[in-house]
Amino acid sequence: MDKANLEKQFGRTREEARYLSFQHSKPGSGLNKYSSTLTREHDFPAAQAMLYAAGVPNEHVLKTYPQVGVASVWWEGNPCNMHLLDLGKEVKRGVEAQEMLAWQYNTVGVSDGITMGGDGMRFSLQTREIIADSIETVTCAQFHDACVTIAGCDKNMPGAIMGMTRTNRPGIMIYGGSTKPGYSTLLKKEINITTALEAHGAYIYDNLRNPADPSQTKEALLSDIEKGAIPGQGACGGMFTANTMATAIETLGLSLPGSASTPASSPEKMRECKKVAEAIKVCMEQDITPRKCLTKKSFENALVMMMALGGSTNGVLHLLAMATTAEVELTLDDFQRVSDRVPFIADLAPSGKYLMKDLYEIGGVSSVQKLLIAAGMLDGNTITVTGKTLAQNVESWPSLTEGQEIIRSLDNPIKATGHIEILYGNLAPDGAVAKITGKEGMKFTGRARVFDKEHALDDALNKGQIPRTENLVLIVRYEGPKGGPGMPEQLKASAAIMGAGLKNIALITDGRYSGASHGFIVGHITPEAAVGGPIAVVRDGDLITIDAETHRIDMVDVSEEEVRKRFETWVPPRMPVTRGVLAKYARLVGDASKGAVTDLF
């Protein structure tokens, strides 16, 4: 149903509907302007009784102190998130030192690493919406005056920003930080999560061996890698999705300077919590809200950083969703326009060799921002949660360490333009997202081999059934937002292909990829197969061309008439699930070209 019909049916505009649930609120003028709805005089005696029981010490504090929600995406079963409760406690102490009340609560989390390649991955992306819903719900229901969110991985961060943006009360996000590199005792070198995934492909194709000690079995090597890949708390260490989103959000102005780069286990991360408690009061005093930070200029800045540092394709999906929530017009074509003008300069994993902790040691994300502002590529005039502009935030920040090799000079980039390529064609009329660093070339042509679900490709890889003898375009379909449902990541397959050394392969999908994926990969193909996109009628043997130079992805030997004939006999698949959270998600979610959001009218 379109917006006009909704307005006709419900008799109100979207803007009127947004605030309908708050019509009984009568905000005051102080920092406690929302919470005073409950605490002024004796209008809500039960609410005041509950607040006293929850720990408010006296009437002075009840009536005058602002109330700040401290929302962490904490849970114990994932290194990205397992330390966030402790960060939240530090924020709470800091907020209380500012003569404000702090109320901690949690949202749900799903580990992409644990669920990768299994049915659990279908629940991952939809948690972004649940996280946003949770933060919006608690903030509005409890009349919080501000919110500090603490997020640890991938979709946690956009979910937190979307939740704060919906309420548009002062808010700041803290990134939980990245983990340290792991270590393989047998290979005697640093490793990370990508090592484990790619080692699986080498294991399947019998390529996993230690050149220094050929007597070690592939079973012993894989076991050693699994045990050593992640040493403890923090998100995956490369420029994968978590660090991509942390970088983007710091650039958007909704985190403190340095938040994206500071390691999870560092004392500086705990100090950041105290600084955020001070900054949230500044935001309240100056009425700095998420929508004031989330402007077209700040989103363009985020895109610049994403291209310069080689960020994840998931960044496209999440930035589109955040912009939609903020009602900022951002399209796939904006990503291509920025990619065309910004050089790729970071030698960071997955396509490079360094990790976020290495970038931190030479100055971090803020030092890269300083470089790009000086070069005129970033607009330094955007407002941030410090009350200062982006340029003012990094003015006194150290420049990148002289002699470092992680960030190339702008006149000697890894690639003269960005690595994100937006492709269109008869296979993706509404667009697709490719991550092409240039190391794999800029064009690929091969015969299609079609898999109707990710597990079918995984089974073929596990059995060694993907040959090295011809160029193949592996197609994984019915894995989009509705078809998956949940748009699962294809990292298990992409990593297995890289680990197996299959250079003759391109991989395309209406699903998505992890930030740790690399190789000749194209995702987010829209329309997706489940809703009748052309990818639904590709057949084994069709010739597929992917051309990043012309931004095309096509079935070159399949005419429009042939596509129409194939659709005459195409039968839409039955929904994989009909009840529960995934069924609700599939009914509500929009397509990937608009961020796969569930609240788009």
Provide the annotated active-site residues.
514
Spatial CB neighbours of 56, under 8 Å, sequence gap ≥ 6: 62, 101
Q: How far is CA 576 from CA 152, 172, 174, 321, in A?
A: 30, 38, 36, 25
As given in the structure block, the two tokens for residue 221 are 């090597």
Strand bridging mode 443-451 / 543-547 = antiparallel
C-alpha closest to that of 26 among 16, 17, 36, 18: 36
Amino acid at 264: A
Cβ–Cβ under 8 Å, residues 164 and 107:
no
As given in the structure block, the two tokens for residue 300 are 């363009």
Distance CA 386, CA 393 (A): 8
Phi, then psi, of 220 in degrees rounded to 5: -65, -40
Taking phi over 0 as left and psi of -120 to 50 as alpha, with beta for the rest, 250 belongs to alpha
Q: How far is CA 90 from CA 46, 156, 179, 317, 501, in A?
A: 30, 20, 20, 32, 46
203: helix, coil or strand?
A: helix
C-alpha closest to that of 407 among 338, 303, 475, 305: 305
